[in-house]
């Protein structure tokens, strides 16, 4: 593909409900324009955009895919995005670098949950968009009904631009409402509107023209005066209105009938904005000051890495949007985020699985760079003498977690590197080590995201892991002040072992942790053994006493003891300190603390009752509710962590996929006795099982 200027580029994210047909639409556009020689099909596993074996298995997109091609001198970069909520991170990445969006709606299903969720994202980002109503050849498909749904849901700024001729299996083309002509295939000549369609076309054309002229005072005056307006005037006004989000055109398509593609391609080229129309892009200097770069090939280089793929055979592939300057192959670039230089070898334009090498990529364009060493997603690539940093992508917070452990020693050796590559490829995945439970926790947006990540660990990186529900990181604490002795005596051949301490423990306010003190009088325990006693106390506190969880919020004081001139040593007093703490806790009315999380749950108003009842069943305390508009309510509640490990899956089930939530740790509170008893009993059974072996 030849290099093009920014005004001849269209970067468009294709978004919508999962399974609605977005990938099929892009595959059909590629084939209809001659960019591919065969029509890839999702159901057959022959799609060139779905490159991951897991996508072929599931018959859904789980990764962002880029499809670049040229048509009549215009470069189109279509970013096909996953529609399922578990893979929303890639949708955010696509919207971050796209200048506009196509919202795909199934003509038989209409406005669905995914449509509503992505519409909210587009509104937040103020992204210009068009709506494509597809699959109109299917049974129950009805363009007029879907258009009415869209206008009811999103207002009268949603207007038809290309409407279908015919219904379901009889669909044969689309009518361009501005021209008043029928378009069929991309290579067919326009034809006159059939007489049978003129009344319907007249009604829809009036909706379109009224929406356009309301955004332009001069055109509105002429319209009210009954004067005619040319196609060029209406087209230019519509382009401006679409760019500003004042009008959202709707286009009809059918992939199986090869209908609507000429209309859609014309709409993308004529109505959606180019990178040149942004004028400049804003970033930050190393000191945090804002700085602007013009979308100009002569500017200093600035480019943003929005997606990383790891392939066990090819290596790492970084997807990049160039914002200013020109990215050349065989060039040195600077990663402003990490402060490291990288060498760019080859540069590719990408069409799913296909790659086309290029010498240079200009501003506004999208490309892929293989084998960058340190650079990862969210990196800003610049000239070293003129660094700039762009804000990172705001990925959705993880809401589903599992504990993972390697199946073998070989897997353990490879696990760390594999997890690093996995989170580099998908930053919506988080990995952390829980110090309280000593587990490695893998978190993602949903259960399917975790299943896919575990599959990638095995297939891409050769690491097999076991997964389970994470343990709750309980804590132990005490209510009473007590004193007890810890005495360790062991006699073997030669020197023996002897340590004897008296310990006092007392409760502290929550959050105090562990404090240690001494008040030895008269040298009953020599000073050189004091640190060993403290170490024994702290080790025992870390292991826990009643349930195997860390003991916290207490002060331990060494106040007496005895020693033996020959047999005493540091190890003896370390063990004695541990025994003393255990003996104290047995008399100190110990209890369990459980972590409490603050939840903010966003749910449709009609599901409020079910969600509130479910939160009460999870021992939640609802703090309040407020309307967020668009038929949604936000619920704030405090809920024990033990009750929300599977909440992401359960909430989607309750709300038909429309409910979302965020969670953050709040504090520790006393665990109810009936639950604490089960936890303690499970710990005791585990101890007995270990002892038996």
* 690 pLDDT higher than 60: no
Read off the DSSP letter of residue 190: P
Q: Is the pLDDT of residue 477 over 90?
A: yes
pLDDT score of 326? 94
Cα–Cα distance for residue pair 309/322, rounded to 1 Å: 18
Place 618 in a pLDDT band, splitting at 50, 70 and 90.
very high
| Burial (Cβ within 10 Å: 0-12, 13-18, ≥19) of residue 2 | exposed
More confident residue, 200 or 495: 200
pLDDT of residue 392: 93
Q: For residue 374, what pLDDT is reported? A: 85
Q: Give pLDDT tens digits for 114-157.
A: 888 899 889 988 999 999 999 998 888 899 999 999 999 899 99
List, for residues 545-602, the tens digit of each pLDDT value.
Answer: 999 899 999 999 999 999 888 888 999 999 999 999 999 999 999 999 999 999 998 8
**In this model, does residue 425 exceed pLDDT 70?**
yes
Please state the rounded mean pLDDT for residues 485-495.
83
Distance CA 46, CA 60 (A): 12
Give the pLDDT confidence score for residue 611 in this predicted structure.
Answer: 92
Q: Is the pLDDT of residue 231 over 70?
A: yes
Of the candidates 99, 118, 98, the one whose C-alpha atom is nearest the C-alpha of residue 306 is 98
Q: Say how many C-beta atoms besides its own lie within 10 A of residue 492's C-beta.
A: 7
What is the chain's Cα-based Rg? 32
Whether 1 shows a pLDDT value over 70: the answer reads no
Q: Measure the CA–CA gap between 622 and 610, rounded to whole angstroms.
A: 13
CB 172: neighbour CB atoms within 10 A?
13
> In terms of Cα–Cα distance, which of 261, 212, 207, 247 is closest to 233?
212
- In this predicted structure, the answer to whether residue 692 has a pLDDT above a threshold of 70 is no
Mean pLDDT of 494-517: 90
- Of 479, 477, 494, the C-alpha closest to 541 is 477
pLDDT at 482: 96
pLDDT tens track for 629-661 = 667 788 999 999 999 988 988 998 898 888 888
> Which residues have a Cβ under 8 Å from the Cβ of 530 and sit 6 or more positions away?
518, 520, 558
Please write the tens of the pLDDT for every residue from 32-55.
888 888 887 877 777 888 877 777
pLDDT given for residue 421 in this prediction: 87
Average model confidence (pLDDT) for the chain?
89
- Domains in the chain (CATH in brackets) are 6-277 (3.40.50.300), 279-382 (2.40.30.10), 400-468 (3.30.70.870), 476-589 (3.30.230.10), 593-674 (3.30.70.240)
CA 178 to chain CA mean position, Å: 40
Measured CA to CA, the distance from residue 547 to residue 594 in angstroms comes to 12
pLDDT for residue 688: 64
Over range 453-474, report the average pLDDT.
92
| Whether 367 contacts 327, CB under 8 Å | yes
Give the whole-angstrom CA distance, residue 79 versus residue 496: 74
Q: How confident is the model at residue 481 (pLDDT cuts 50, 70, 90)?
A: very high
For residue 475, the model assigns a pLDDT of 93
| pLDDT tens column, 269-320 | 999 999 999 878 999 988 889 999 999 999 999 999 999 987 766 678 999 9
Give the whole-number percent of the chain exceeding pLDDT 70: 97
Query: Is 80 exceeded by the pLDDT of residue 8?
Result: yes
Looking at residue 390, what is its pLDDT? 94
Q: What is the pLDDT of residue 312?
A: 65
State the DSSP string of 64-77: -EEEEEEETTEEEE
């Amino acid at each position: 593909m030849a290099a093009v200027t920014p005004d001849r580029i269209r970067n468009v994210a294709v978004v919508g409900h999962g399974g609605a047909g977005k990938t099929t639409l892009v595959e059909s556009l590629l084939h209809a324009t001659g960019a591919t020689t065969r029509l890839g099909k999702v159901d057959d596993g022959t799609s060139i955009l779905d490159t991951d074996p897991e996508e072929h298995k599931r018959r859904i997109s789980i990764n962002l895919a880029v499809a670049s091609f040229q048509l009549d001198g215009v470069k189109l970069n279509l970013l096909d995005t996953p529609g399922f909520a578990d893979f929303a991170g890639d949708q955010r990445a696509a919207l971050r670098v796209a200048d506009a969006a196509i919202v795909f709606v199934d003509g038989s299903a209409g406005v669905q949950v995914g449509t509503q969720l992505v519409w909210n994202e587009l509104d937040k980002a103020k992204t210009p968009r068009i709506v494509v109503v597809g699959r109109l050849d299917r049974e129950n498909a009805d363009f007029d009904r879907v258009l009415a749904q869209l206008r009811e849901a999103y207002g009268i700024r949603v207007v038809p631009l290309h409407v279908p001729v015919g219904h379901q299996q009889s669909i044969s083309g689309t009518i361009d409402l501005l021209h008043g002509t029928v378009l069929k295939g991309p290579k067919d000549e326009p034809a006159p509107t059939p007489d049978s369609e003129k009344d319907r076309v007249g009604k829809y054309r009036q909706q379109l023209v009224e929406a356009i002229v309301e955004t332009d005072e001069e055109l509105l005056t002429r319209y009210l005066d009954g004067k005619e307006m040319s196609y060029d005037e209406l087209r230019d006004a519509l382009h401006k209105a679409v760019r500003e989000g004042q009008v959202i055109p709707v286009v009809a398509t059918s992939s199986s009938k090869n209908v609507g593609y000429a209309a859609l391609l014309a709409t993308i080229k004529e109505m959606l904005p180019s990178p040149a129309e942004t004028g400049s892009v804003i970033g930050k200097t190393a000191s945090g000051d804002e700085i602007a770069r013009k979308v100009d090939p002569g500017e200093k280089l600035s480019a943003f890495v929005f997606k990383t793929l790891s392939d066990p055979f090819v290596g790492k592939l970084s997807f990049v949007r160039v914002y200013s300057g020109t990215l050349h192959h065989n060039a040195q670039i600077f990663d402003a985020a990490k402060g490291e230089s990288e060498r760019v070898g080859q540069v590719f334009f990408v069409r799913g699985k296909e790659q086309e090498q290029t010498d240079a990529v200009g501003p506004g364009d999208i490309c892929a760079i293989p084998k960058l060493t340190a650079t990862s997603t969210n990196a800003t690539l610049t000239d070293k003498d003129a660094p700039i940093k762009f804000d990172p992508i705001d990925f959705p917070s993880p809401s589903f977690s599992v504990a993972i452990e390697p199946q073998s020693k070989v897997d353990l050796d490879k696990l760390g590197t594999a997890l690093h590559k996995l989170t580099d490829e998908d930053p919506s995945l988080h990995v952390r080590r829980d110090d309280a439970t000593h587990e490695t926790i893998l978190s993602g947006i949903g259960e399917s995201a975790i299943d896919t990540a575990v599959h990638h660990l095995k297939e891409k990186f050769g690491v097999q892991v076991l997964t389970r529900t994470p343990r709750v990181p309980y804590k132990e604490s005490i209510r009473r002040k007590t004193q007890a002795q810890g005495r360790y005596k062991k006699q073997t051949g030669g020197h023996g072992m002897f340590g004897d301490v008296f310990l006092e423990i007392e409760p502290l306010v929550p959050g105090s942790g562990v404090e240690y003190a001494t008040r030895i009088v008269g040298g009953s325990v020599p000073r050189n053994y004091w640190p060993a006693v403290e170490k024994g106390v702290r080790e025992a506190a870390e292991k826990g006493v009643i349930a195997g969880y860390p003991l916290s919020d207490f002060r331990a004081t060494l106040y007496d003891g005895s020693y033996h001139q020959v047999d005493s040593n540091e190890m003896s007093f370390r063990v004695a300190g541990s025994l003393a703490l255990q003996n104290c806790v047995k008399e100190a009315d110990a209890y369990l603390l459980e972590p409490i999380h603050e939840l903010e749950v966003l749910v449709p108003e009609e599901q409020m009752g079910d969600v509130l009842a479910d939160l009460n069943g999870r021992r939640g305390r609802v703090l309040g509710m407020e309307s967020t508009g668009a038929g949604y309510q936000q619920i704030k509640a405090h809920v024990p962590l033990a009750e929300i490990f599977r909440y992401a899956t359960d909430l989607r089930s309750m709300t038909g996929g429309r409910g979302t939530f965020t969670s953050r740790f709040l504090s520790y509170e006393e665990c109810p006795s009936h639950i604490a008893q089960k936890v303690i009993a499970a710990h005791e059974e585990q101890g007995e099982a270990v002892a038996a072996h």
